[in-house]
Structure 1
Amino acid sequence: MPNQIGLPGDLPVSLLKQLLDLMMMSFKVIVIDLPRLVDPIMSCVVDHADKLVVCVQQDVANLRDAQRLLRILQQDMEFPEERIVIAVNRYQAISPIQLEDIQQSLKVAAVYSIPNDYARVSHALNLGVPLLEQVPNAPITQALVKLVNELLGIQPPLKKNLMRDFFARLAK
């Protein structure tokens, strides 16, 4: 029934594995949003993942949950640390917990911050228009583009420097 909510136990892991295998043959990039629930479904998705993005927020409870999740992913599920990316969602510079604190707490090389911009995100969701189309130069959009580029291994193009280009032409 299309109006029913699916529960985690409703989907057999064997069917999920078949679906993921089929999707991997058809698509270059697959994004799956999972709850922080370690179960057979999560395990199946992790087994198929090239990278995992663990989203955290700037509070102690979130950091403790993330520490436990990272320990499970790395030690129990043997997912390589270098393939895990930490994204701080709803980042606020005025928070008492800063990016460096999160980096140290989670013992990771880097964290990506996604600024808190509830108004723009809510507006984009209500319109059904991606942020990239609606507000391409907004800090939240640029942060998401940076994260996507990192996940895909894309180097962002160098910004044009008109003065440098001008002097380079003069030097020729």
Structure 2
Amino acid sequence: MSHVLRIAIVDPDDASRDAVKSTLLGLDTVWLEAECSRYAFFPDVVKQTDPDVGIINLDDNPEAAVQLVENLTQQKPELALLVSSSSTDGSLILRTMRAGAKEFLTQPIKPEELAAAVSRVARNKFGAQAGGSRGGCKVIAVCGATGGVGATSIAVNLGCALAGNPQNSVVLVDLDLAVGDADVFLDTIPEYTLSDVAQNVSRLDFTLLKRSLTKHSSGLYLLPRPVALEDGQHISTDDLQRMFGLLKATFTHLIIDTSKAFTKLDLFAMQMATDVLMVTQLDLPCLRNVVRLMMAFGEVEGLKDKLRVVVNRVGHDAGQISIRKAQETLGHDIYWQVPNDYRVMVEVRNNGVPLIEQAPKAVITQSIGQLAAALSGEEAAMSETESATKKSGWLGLWSSGRSSKTSDTATE
């Protein structure tokens, strides 16, 4: 589990409590454990849920709230208390801090101020690493320019490659609600699905969440698409927001395999993502679709900047469009090239076994492993397979930049 703070709130005012909850849902490393509307009940809430942080709004009854801060500080000194108030009275602030509050925030609380206060608490609790680049969750959305380009293969094997690092905890969400098949690629029969978790996320904690996911032998956790077609119709963006918030607070990497329909749920997932991998092939229909999709993404603020074009099955056909021509057509750099290996991919798909287990030394496995390292910000060392192929020239020319880590052509 990544560093995460469990938070409990007490605020008699529904509007301000909802505003704080909304801000917390957008933070990667927190989880709202409990909320309460009465000061008198909050000590029992803290005792039952054992949070790391308590957020107390003083405005309804400042005297009772300050006394609550003092009591909780004595009873549970490890609990970090953040207090808020619309009052800027110096004596109230001083009394609250003397009672044991760690931070004083002015109502209405600005999201950036709450995030900064939570970050300071996290650093005190977990050390400097909590404030580093690896403190949050990396969210990777994988989509295909059209059906059959291998987007699910990339998503599943990328997840398994990331899960191979013991420092990572990785979950894959199959967001193709109609015909998703990530569970088939991993030869699993899940007990719970995306609709089960989305509809019950408000009642889940970390333990129940892990029990709701299916863990593969590679270490990858899976949340598959619903069993019945109609179940997917009841999943809303609000459900996804809460579900992704919990998953982001629990895992270091969240991979989302989107559908090819680019529904509002898919676009929502892409907006939440750190990186969006657009999987395509070197043929004209695929490249035209990528151009069209990039135009659509350009209308959504920040989405096009996250786009990473991944060319799959490079070398599948001698008549393929060249990488240089493809980049000219797209007007966009190609982030990664995955070489074609038809025989290996057919085996892993039919056996329900990921590349890293079925063919760990294959060139395609090495390529996806290096893609995982690049997306994680790690400098991947050149593999023995890559070194050998470069020396022999078997895979042809190697392009520069990021895509120099993968081959420009490959034999089938």
- Give the greater-gyration-radius structure (CA): 2
Take 2:315 and 2:257, find their aligned partners in 1: how far apart are those partners?
Answer: 23
For the residue of structure 1 that corresponds to 2:254, the secondary structure is coil
TM-score (norm 1): 0.80
User: What are the equivalent positions in structure 2 for 1:119-130 lying under 5 Å apart?
Assistant: 119-130=343-354
Say yes or no: does 1:22 pair with 2:246.
Answer: yes
Q: Name the SS of the counterpart of 2:267 in structure 1.
A: helix
Q: 2:315 aligns with which of 84, 92, 103?
A: 92
3-state DSSP of counterpart to 1:76: coil
Identity %: 24
Q: Displacement, 1:151?
A: 1.2
Structure 2: runs of 5+ lacking an equivalent = 1-195, 197-225, 388-412
Instruction: Kindly provide the CA deviation profile for residues 85-138 of structure 1, in whole angstroms up to 9, marking residues without a partner as x.
Output: 111112226233011122221222333111222221121233332211221221
Alignment of 1:43-58 (within 5 A): 43-58=267-282
Aligned partners of 1:57 and 1:89 also within 8 Å = yes
2:306 is the alignment partner of 1:83: yes
CA distance in 2, matches of 1:111, 1:157: 18
Q: Describe the superposition over 1:33-73 as per-residue Cα deviations: whole angstroms up to 9, x where unpaired.
A: 11233321022101210000000111111111111111222
| Structure 2 equivalent of residue 36 of structure 1 | 260
Amino acid at match of 2:249: M
State the Cα RMSD in Å: 2.5
Unpaired runs of 5+ in structure 1?
162-172
2 CA distance for matches of 1:53 and 1:106?
15
Correspondent of 2:293 among 37, 61, 69:
69
Distance 1:98 1:9, change over 3 A: farther
Q: Moved runs in structure 1, 4+ residues, more than 3 A? A: 5-10, 158-161
CA distance in 2, matches of 1:105, 1:41: 29
Kindly provide the amino acid, as one letter, of the partner of residue 84 in structure 1: L
1 or 2, which has the higher helix percentage? Answer: 1
Contact 2:270 2:303 in 1 (8 A): no
Matches within 5 A, 1:81-160: 81-92=304-315, 94-157=318-381
Q: Which moved more, 1:47-56 or 1:129-138?
A: 129-138
Distance of 2:342 and 2:349 partners within structure 1:
10
Q: Distance in 1 between matches of 2:273 and 2:344?
A: 30
Task: Give 1 or 2: higher strand fraction.
Answer: 2
The normalised TM-score by structure 2 is 0.36
